[in-house]
Amino acid sequence: MVKKVMENKRVIPFSPPDISEAEIEEVVAALKSGWITTGPRTKELEKRLADYCHTSRVVCLNSATAAEELNFRICGIGEGDEVIVPAYTYTATASAAIHCGATVKFVDIQKDGNSINRMPEMDYDKVSEAITPKTKAIVAVDIAGIIADYDKLFKIVEQKRNLFVPDGNTDLGRRIQKTINRVLVFDDAAHSLGASRKGKMVGEIADFTDYSFHAVKNFTTAEGGASTWRDISGIDNEEIYHQYQLYSLHGQSKDALAKTKIGAWEYDIEGAWYKCNMTDIMAAIGLRQLDRYQGLLERRRAIIERYDAMCDEMGIRHLNHYTDDGESSGHLYLARIPGADDTVRREIINRLAERGVMTNVHYKPLPMMTAYRQLGWDIKDFPNSYDYYQNLITLPLHTKLTDEDVDHVVSQFTDVVKEYL
């Protein structure tokens, strides 16, 4: 994916969507079908995603943020409840809990991230210390597509079972909390569709999972997202699915498709709820992306292996996407420049941009952001998050990169960064 803006100058965008003729044709077919909002294509995508993720049900929505928020609402989490979230993530992980009225408690990451895969992952001792009788959920984030250590999280919530008070703010939420009877484990899988750990797909690991299909993600529907969950004994998945439908469509007892049936004009409003459904135009993109997804994951892996070889040669710390424990979805390539601070890192990013290599930073920790500072959080209390962030650069990693583009990134990165080592 090279745009020649000036003679001899390659510009490599950070993360353009990979849309083939197949997606375009399916969108056109949806537009011509007479059904453009939530309908048969959305339902088909939900079924195929559930098969892919090895879960009973998937609900397609308009974003991961909506999916995570509805996961909280389904579990009856709201005012008076606490939700534990890593300080090192995108805002949506925390803001979805805030939308429900819950209080977010940030936890720092492990120093230099997970010792094996280097993912900026929560410090689990700190997670354990943060649990109180008000804690209803812990949200782990599979940053860059690497699945967090849910074995550890489940062990912690089991150990703290005696502190858990099951008292959701809805009948369904109360029943879910009573049945699970420990702090709920949520997976923010915005980056990790298709990743697996110890033979399990993301989606069948945590209690509730949300995915993002935003334009920059591996798998896109332009905007979009989905929720899934593990079966909960004694609670019918159809009841849970129906509640997601209500929450995502104004609390309306019949969706637009159901209302087209003869004589079926009448509906009820069961709650003054939200509007975050997926349309069939979005689902049309997703259906054809899913056909191609395995190939997209393999191409990502090939690019990652190339970048790994470069970083290893230069002594640059990088994520290990593929380990004995698990296969990442290969969403982001995080590289950390040894000895660099924020000033040097910014200089490198600018110099790479001048050479046509667009990079990024994932993430500036949330306690550095205005909204969270105003809530009283201070980055000084999250030294490992700051340390991880200050020398981090995210390289372009996407399936529109040709081999020549990857060569270009490698040569420019090597050329610029070697001056700082």
Ligand X SMILES: Cc1ncc(COP(=O)(O)O)c(C=O)c1O
Cβ-based nearer residue to ligand X, 65 or 110: 65
Residue 90 binds to ligand X (criterion: CB under 6 A): yes
Output phi, psi for 139, to 5 deg: -105, 115
Q: Could you give the 3-state DSSP secondary structure of residue 54?
A: coil
CB of 222 to ligand X, least distance (A): 10
Residue 93 binds to ligand X (criterion: CB under 6 A): yes
Q: What is the DSSP letter of 196?
A: E
CB of 110 to ligand X, least distance (A): 17
Residues 254-263: contacts with CB under 8 Å, at least 24 apart? 255/38, 256/37, 256/38, 256/39, 257/35, 257/38, 257/39, 257/40
Please report, as residue ranges, which positions from 168 to 227 form the binding site for ligand X (by CB under 6 A). 188, 190-191, 212, 214, 225
Task: State the binding string over 49-68 for ligand X (x if CB under 6 A, else -).
Answer: --------------xxx---
Cβ-based nearer residue to ligand X, 96 or 287: 96
Q: Could you give the 3-state DSSP secondary structure of residue 335?
A: strand
Cβ-based nearer residue to ligand X, 214 or 398: 214
Query: Token match 């899913």: residue?
Result: 290
CB of 246 to ligand X, least distance (A): 20
- Strand locations in 142-282 (E): 184-189, 196-197, 200-201, 208-212, 225-229
Select from 89-97, 113-121, 152-160, 404-412 the region that touches ligand X (CB under 6 A). Answer: 89-97
Output phi, psi for 5, to 5 deg: -90, -35
Distance CA 92, CA 88 (A): 12
**Which string of b and e fits 61-88 if b means at least 16 CB within 10 Å?**
bbbbbbbbbbbbbbbbbbeebbbbbbbb
CB of 16 to ligand X, least distance (A): 15
Contact 322, 194 (CB under 8 A): no
Cβ-based nearer residue to ligand X, 284 or 416: 284
Total of residues contacting ligand X (CB under 6 A):
14
Cβ-based nearer residue to ligand X, 140 or 316: 140
Please report, as residue ranges, which positions from 24 to 43 form the binding site for ligand X (by CB under 6 A). none
Cβ-based nearer residue to ligand X, 102 or 417: 102
CB of 363 to ligand X, least distance (A): 8
Residue 252 binds to ligand X (criterion: CB under 6 A): no
H-assigned helices in 181-263: 237-248, 256-259
Cβ-based nearer residue to ligand X, 190 or 193: 190
Q: Could you give the 3-state DSSP secondary structure of residue 143?
A: helix
Contact 27, 281 (CB under 8 A): yes
CB of 141 to ligand X, least distance (A): 5
Cβ-based nearer residue to ligand X, 10 or 331: 331
CB of 63 to ligand X, least distance (A): 3
Please report, as residue ranges, which positions from 339 to 398 form the binding site for ligand X (by CB under 6 A). none
CB of 66 to ligand X, least distance (A): 7
Cβ-based nearer residue to ligand X, 164 or 377: 377
CB of 214 to ligand X, least distance (A): 4
- For 278, other C-beta atoms within 10 Å of its C-beta total 28
Contact 69, 62 (CB under 8 A): no
Distance CA 22, CA 35 (A): 19
Q: Cis peptide before 244, with omega less than 30 degrees from 0?
A: no
Cβ-based nearer residue to ligand X, 62 or 412: 62
Termini Cα distance of the chain: 30
CB of 152 to ligand X, least distance (A): 19
**Interacting residue ranges for ligand X, rule: CB under 6 A:** 63-65, 89-90, 92-93, 141, 188, 190-191, 212, 214, 225
